[in-house]
Every structure is written in C-alpha cells, then in structure tokens.
A and B are shown apart, each in its own frame.
Chain A
Amino acid sequence: MLAQSRQWDGRGGRRRRQSALARRYGHLLFVAPGFVFFIAFMVLPSLAGFAVSLTNWTGVGTDFSFVGLDNFVEALGSWPLYRAAWHNLIMFLAILVFQHTVGLFVAVQLHAKPRFMEVYRTILFLPVIISLVSTGFIWTLMLSPNIGVINALLKDLGLGFLARAWLSDPDLALATVIGVQCWNVLGWAIIIYLAGLQAIPEELLQAAEIDGATGWVRFRRVVFPLLSPSFTALTVLTFIGQFRVFDIVYVLTGPLGSPNFETDVLATLIYRSAFGGSSIASNDVRMSYAVALAVIVFVIMAIASTFLIRVLRRREISA
C-alpha cells in the first residue's frame, strides 16, 4: 500500500520555481487587502483631513483657498478650545480617581470569591456593553427635573431640598455627566483589576503573610505594586476614552455642551465647528477649522498617550 504510486500528490515530478521576490515578499499579499482598506479609509482621509485644515474651506461648495497654518493659530488662540480641553481633563481625572478607588475596591471584594461572584461580575460589567447613547437616554430621563425618577424619589423620601435640575444647573452639569459616565465605565475597572488580582500568584501572598504583612499593609506593599499593569491599562484606557468622549455629552447635554458650554468637550466643539449646533448660525460652520481642531487633538493625544505609557511602564518595572 505504502509503496503504491509515488505520483500521489498529482504533481508528479513537476516542480515550480519560485522567484526570490515571491519568497521574500510573498507574505505581503496577505497584508495587501487590509492595507488597501486601511489606506483608503484611514490614511487617505487623515492626510486629506490635514490638507483641509490648511485651507479655509467651509465644507460646502468649492470656494476655498490655502491659508497655511491660520486655522491652527486661530484655534490655539481661542478660548473655547481651552475650556473644552479643561472639561476633558476634569472628566479624565475624576473618572480616573473613581476607577482606581471604587473600581479597585469592588474588584478586591469580588476577588475574595463571595457567593454569586459570577452573578455580580456579570451584572457589574453589564453597563460596559450598553452603548453610551442608551446610557445617555436612560440618565437623561432619570435625571429629568420634572419627570425624572431621581428627583421624585428624593421628594418622596423627604429629601426634596436635594432635588436639582441636574443637567441644566451650571454648577452641577459637569459633575452629573461625570457621574453618569462612572456608571458606564465602572465595569472596566472591575474587570481589569480583577484580571490583575487573579494573576497574582497565591504563594506570593502567603509569603507576605509569613513575613508579617497582613491586611492593609499587605495590600499596599505587595498587592498594589503587582497590579501595575492593570493600573497602566486602566489609566490609558480612561485617558483615551475621556479625551474622545462625545456620545454621552451629545445625548445628555447636546452638541452645545449646555448649559452655557459648561459641559462642552473637545469632541462636541469639533462637531459644532464642523456641522453646527442647533442654535449656531451656519456661517459659523467651518469644516477646515474643525479639522484643524481634530488635528490638534490627535497630536496632543498621540504625544500624551505615548508619554503616559512610557511613564507608567517605567513605574511598572521599578515597582
């Protein structure tokens, strides 16, 4: 049987030559389809976007001219940019603190393997997969001053004096937006920290215990340093998320970041500049200016996240 016809592969002795080119670069054929897509829908638009940012094009018509870096100069000298960036920064910091305290705390509780741990974990992660748009709607209604459940509940509990116009009070709006986001992103912190905690070898904790470190000391000196990778991941994730945040602000407080731009962020600012908010006259819409803003955000984010990853990774190693 084994000795049967050697022509088993149907190719017989016919052998194909393979050029050096094919051998060296053949693998690029696998990259090509993705590469084409990537170039067409990512790279070209990016470059085109950059090109547009150097003109004064409004977004409609063909009437435009090259204006060099004017848009950038104007953007960097304009107050709304800094105001929006400031709001992004506050959101980032507030949510960062929330994630690294509450999120970590809940993760530690979960790690202790209580009964129904799986159930808790499933529930607590749930908001992450619910879209920011849906989240926004749910909370818009819940926070609504007249038909919202929150104020109604407060009143019925005799805490009516706490009822507020959560999303239209200039002093509260930003905090409320942050609070809603906390609800949506807590799952990330839990799941990332939980993964980190589960990666810590049991023996290490036992060794620490033998060395006399227990409770809080053990957590701070042994466990927390070992959670560095989780800390890094979560920080970077939060950073990127918060400096890009758009959907939830758009739904909760609209493209204007109302009230009075108190919740205006970079993404809504760019959106408004490009497509106009409902109450802005259309002559204020300048596509080129919007794209220049986006380029600025891109550059800052690229620099900041590279920097952030560097610093945090270094900390991981030295920890």
Chain B
Amino acid sequence: MARVQLSGLTKAYSGSDASAVSDLSLDIADGEFLVLVGPSGCGKSTALKMIAGLEESTSGEVWIGDEMVNDHAARDRDIAMVFQSYALYPHMSVFDNIAFALQIAKRPKAEIRERVAEVARILQLENYLDRRPGSLSGGQRQRVAMGRAIIRQPAVFLMDEPLSNLDAKLRVQMRSEIARIQHRLKVTTVYVTHDQVEAMTMGDRVALMRDGVLQQVDTPERIYNRPNNTFVASFIGSPSMNLYHATLVREGSGGRVRLGDVELSVPASVYESHPALAQTNGAVILGIRSENLEDAVFVPNHPEGQQFTATVTLAESLGSDLMVHFRINAPPAKIVDQDLLDEIAVGDDFGVCVGRFNARSAAKPGDTVNIAIDCSELHFFDAENGRAF
C-alpha cells in the first residue's frame, strides 16, 4: 500500500553533538516487513519516530507512498505505531485505549465494538477490556499497545520492540500472529527488535544499525551468511561469531590460515565465492560460526587440514546441542562495542571459542578434544577496518 523511502535521514538531538541517526537511507518496498536491529542506543527508536513524524529530522527526507511527508504531521502520515514504552493512556480502560484512534475518527459505535472485540481476541485480551493499564502486567500492556496499532489499517506499521516483555511462549504465539496480520493486511512494516529469532524469522529483510549508522540491509540469510563487516558478523547470530586475528597465506588454488598455533587449509571454493580474498596475503580477521565446529568423533573422514585440538573450558548442554567453550591461542578481534566486548574478548593473547557440538558429544571441561571445522564456511575480514572480503 505504501512504499517507504528514507534518504539521508539524520537526527542530532539538540544538546548532544553526536547524531542519534546519521545519513540513514532505506528503501522499504510496499508490503515489506523490515526488521531493524542494533545495540541499545543505536538510534532505532529515533529512526522510527522520524518516520512517524514525531521527531523532526535534522536533514534528509521521508517518503511514504509517492509523497514526501517531511511536512506532514504524524496524524496525517497514516501510520500506526507500537511504542517501546507502550505509551498507554493511563486514564482510559483497555477498551478505550484500543478504540481511541477509531473514536477520534468518529467511527460508528457498533463498528468500534466489533473491531475491538476482534483485536482483543487475537491478542487474548478479552478479559481485560474494562481494566486500566495500571493494573496490567508488562506483557498485557504490551499487547494492548499492539492492539492499538493493529486495530487500524494504516499505510505503515511501526513497531518498537513490541514483544520484548512477553514470556517465551506468548512471544512465539504473538510473533506468528503479527506475521499473519501483516501478511494478510500487506502493510509495510518496520519492526524494531533485540531478539535474534524475531529478526531472523519475521523479516523480509533485516537492517542493522550501529551508533546511528546503517551497517547492512539484507535478507536474513544473507546478513547471516555474508555479513558486511565484523560488527554485523558478531551481532547477528547467537552465540556470536568467533572472531580472531589470523594470518592467511595463498597456497595453490586454496590457502592456509594460521590461527595461533593451529593451521587450517582454506578450500578453493572459499576463494571462488570471495574473489577479493585473492589479493590478500597476511593479516586478516577470521570468523567462525559455532555451528561450523563439531566434535571430530561425529565427523569421520574429515579432511586432515580442517581439524585441531583444544582444551575444553566449559560445556553447556542446551538439550539439542552441546555448547562447548575452548581456548584458542590467538588474539580475539575486538569489536569496539562495550556490550559485545565482554562476550568476545576474555584475554589478550588467547580467546574463547564456542562450538555447537552434537548433543551426544562427551566433551567436558578439562578434556582435550579433537575438533572438526568446516573450512568452506570460514569468514574473512580485513584486519584493518573489519570489512568483509
């Protein structure tokens, strides 16, 4: 119904010199579901508010449909929004909260009742319609906030972490409900989340921001498999990608990568899919996803050059998998982000690497295990600027 385009959108709050959002350009197709992710404070909410017209942009343009809406008030942009803070009207009942937009639009009473009832059913709020938001739990409030948005059929949905406060079960349920509604109404949606699963499963595309700067916009598969830089690589995926300083040397049609005292062979297929890698000889940042590491016992006949041994420091069973932490004698690559630093860097000269092993693996702390690594899935980044080759 409406394509949303942002071009060069920038916001600098008065009183702070850094921009909360800098030069954000996005083209969101009509009916697309775009997930916006990024660490706390990276400007996601600010970006949404600029699209909604609640926050004036310092520069740049917002287009909804084929109209430049910079000069339109929020109420004339035909959007519905779920606020991170819920923003429920404390003096109104749940019913009135959900119905408010329709009441403002002077819809007939009967229609309002009917529509509220339907929304309440979808969100399992039927029993709370007479209550005030103050007497609801966080999750219930969030659903009311959700209801307030989906009762309308706007051109654009903006949702700021709408499920963050729900318990795991309800979240799964709501996730599919939102996906279903969005699918049925085909409303262009921008959806902010912290949740990896939501990001990967709900979005047609995922946009990742950091410090107000857009890092990458891609389909979930591509952003996971072909991250643009070390930041994207470490942010997307759980546990985060293991990243180390390593040395890459060309050898025949393939190559060899030195990771501390371990040497692994890089198959020619990697060079073929990453042509830029051919020019590299020397320092790189090596990225390994945990699922590409496996207890060698379960991978018979794994090529010789794609195995190494390490000492297990911690083994956590998830039931389906066994997450095994082991030491690697190579300096981890630091991502300049405080939140992620703790996860990634433990020491200076050696790092902890996490592998997702078969649940039947017998690895336990103190053991030295033989680890098979799928070298065709290695990721290489420029050691200088962290960009992917």
In the complex, A touching B, CB below 8 Å? yes
A→B interface (CB under 8 Å): 1-6, 8-11, 13, 15-20, 23
Are A3 and B114 in contact, with the CB atoms below 8 A?
Answer: no
**Closest residue to A12 on the B side, CB-wise?**
B78
User: Complex: how many Å from CA A11 to CA B78?
Assistant: 9
Residue in B56, B102, B181 whose beta carbon sits within 8 Å of that of A2 in the complex: B181
Cβ-closest chain B residue relative to A16: B76
Across the A-B interface, the 10 shortest Cβ-Cβ residue pairs: A9-B105, A15-B76, A18-B73, A6-B153, A17-B71, A16-B76, A1-B118, A15-B72, A18-B71, A10-B105
Complex partner residue of A18 from B76, B101, B151, CB under 8 angstroms? B76
- Are B153 and A23 touching (Cβ within 8 A)? no
Instruction: Please measure, in the bound complex, the distance between the C-alpha atom of A223 and the C-alpha atom of B97, giving whole angstroms.
Output: 45
Taking the nearest CB of chain B, how far is it from the CB of A75, in angstroms? 47
> Which of A1, A15, A17, A18 is in CB contact (< 8 Å) with B114?
A1
Please indicate the chain B residues that have their CB under 8 angstroms from the CB of A5 in the complex: 153
A265 to B151, CA, bound (A): 67
Complex Cα–Cα for A17 and B181 (A): 30
15 contacts between A and B (CB under 8 A): A1-B115, A2-B118, A2-B119, A2-B153, A4-B153, A6-B1, A8-B102, A8-B105, A8-B152, A8-B153, A10-B106, A15-B78, A17-B72, A20-B71, A23-B56
B-to-A contact residues, CB < 8 Å: 1, 56, 65, 67, 69, 71-73, 76-78, 101-102, 105-107, 114-115, 118-119, 150-153, 181, 184-185
Selected contact of A15 from candidates B77, B102, B153, B184, CB within 8 Å: B77
Q: In the complex, are the beta carbons of B185 and A2 less than 8 A apart?
A: yes
Q: What CA separation (Å) do A60 and B220 show in the bound complex? A: 86
CB-based nearest B residue for A6 = B153
A1-B115, A2-B150 given as contacts; is B185 within 8 A of A16 (CB)? no
Q: Report the minimal beta-carbon distance from A310 to chain B, rounded to whole angstroms.
A: 26
Q: What is the CA–CA distance of A13 and B102 in the complex, to the nearest angstrom?
A: 17
With CB as the reference atom, state the residue of chain B lying closest to A5.
B153
Distance from B91 Cβ to chain A, minimum over Cβ atoms (Å): 20
Docked CA distance A9–B104 (Å): 9
| Docked complex Cα distance between A178 and B115 (Å) | 68
Chain B residues, CB < 8 A from A4? 153
Q: Which residues of B contact A23 (CB under 8 A)?
A: 56, 73
Contacts of A3 in B (CB 8 A): 153, 184-185
Residues of A contacting B56 in the complex (Cβ-Cβ under 8 angstroms): 23
Please measure, in the bound complex, the distance between the C-alpha atom of A19 and the C-alpha atom of B76, giving whole angstroms.
13
A2/B105 in contact, CB under 8 A: no
Q: How far is the CA of A1 from the CA of B150 in the complex (A)?
A: 12
A9 to B65, CA, bound (A): 18
Closest-by-CB residue of A relative to B76 is A15
Residue of B nearest to A19 (CB): B71
In the complex, what distance in Å separates the CA atom of A3 from the CA atom of B78?
16
A15 touches B185 (CB 8 A): no
- Residues of chain B within 8 A of A13, CB atoms compared: 65, 78
> Which chain A residue lies CB-closest to B77?
A15
**Interface contact B115-A2, CB-CB below 8 Å:** yes
Give, as a whole number of angstroms, the nearest-CB distance from A8 to chain B.
6
Give 18 A-B pairs besides A8-B107, A9-B105, A17-B72 with Cβ atoms closer than 8 angstroms: A1-B118, A2-B151, A2-B181, A3-B184, A4-B153, A8-B102, A8-B105, A10-B105, A11-B76, A11-B78, A15-B69, A15-B72, A15-B77, A15-B78, A16-B72, A17-B71, A18-B71, A23-B73
Cα–Cα distance between A17 and B361 once the two chains are bound (Å): 65
Kindly state the separation between the CA atoms of A8 and B152 in the bound complex, as whole angstroms. Answer: 8
Alpha-carbon distance between A10 and B119 when the two chains are bound, in angstroms: 21
Q: Which residues of B contact A15 (CB under 8 A)?
A: 67, 69, 72, 76-78
Shortest beta-carbon distance from B56 to chain A in Å: 7
A121-B102 Cα distance, complex, nearest whole Å: 48
How distant is A268 from chain B, measured CB to nearest CB, in Å?
48
Chain B nearest Cβ from A23, distance in angstroms: 7
- Beta-carbon contact of B185 and A18 below 8 Å: no
* Min C-beta distance of A19 to chain B, whole Å: 7
A13 to B65, CA, bound (A): 10
| Distance in angstroms between the alpha carbons of A16 and B72 in the assembled complex | 6
Q: Which residues of B contact A11 (CB under 8 A)?
A: 76, 78, 105
* Chain A contacts for B107, CB-based, 8 A: 8
CB contacts (< 8 Å) of B105 on chain A: these are 8-11
Chain B's closest residue to A7 (CB) is B153
Give complex CA distance A5, B153 in Å. 8
Q: How far is the CB of B298 from chain A (nearest CB, A)?
A: 49
> When chains A and B are docked, how far (Å) is the Cα of A120 from the Cα of B326?
74
Across the interface, which residues of A come within 8 angstroms of B102, CB to CB? 8
CB distance from B126 to the nearest CB of A (A): 15
CA distance A3 to B115 in the complex (A): 11
Q: Which residues of A contact B185 (CB under 8 A)?
A: 2-3
Question: What is the chain A residue whose CB lies nearest that of B74?
Answer: A18
CA distance A35 to B118 in the complex (A): 47
Docked Cα-Cα span, A234 to B77, in Å, equals 51
Chain A nearest CB: distance from B59 CB in Å?
A: 14
Given A2-B181, A3-B185, A10-B105, A18–B72 Cβ distance below 8 Å? yes
Smallest distance from the beta carbon of B387 to chain A beta carbons, Å? 40
| Highest count of chain A CB atoms <10 Å: which of B102, B153, B185 | B153
Rounded to whole Å, the gap between the CB of B2 and the closest CB of chain A is: 9
Closest to A1 in B: B118
Most buried by B among A3, A5, A18: A18
Which chain A residues border B77 with CB–CB below 8 Å?
Answer: 15
Q: Which residue in chain B gives the minimum CB-CB distance to A24?
A: B56
Cα of A116 to Cα of B158 in the assembled complex, Å = 56
Q: Which residue of A lies closest to B115 (CB)?
A: A1
CA distance A43 to B76 in the complex (A): 39
Please report the C-alpha to C-alpha distance between residue A20 and residue B153 in the assembled complex, in whole angstroms.
28
> What is the CB-to-nearest-CB distance from A264 to chain B, in angstroms, rounded to a whole number?
52
What is the CA–CA distance of A284 and B180 in the complex, to the nearest angstrom?
A: 88
A13–B71 Cα gap in the complex (Å)? 15
With a cutoff of 8 Å between Cβ atoms, the chain A residues found around residue B106 in the complex are 10
Q: Output the nearest chain B residue to A26 by Cβ-Cβ distance.
A: B73
Cα-based distance from A201 to B20 in the complex (angstroms): 40
Residues in A with CB closer than 8 Å to B153 are: 2-6, 8
| Bound-state Cα–Cα, A20 to B105, Å | 25
> B76 to chain A: which residues have CB within 8 Å?
11, 15-16, 18
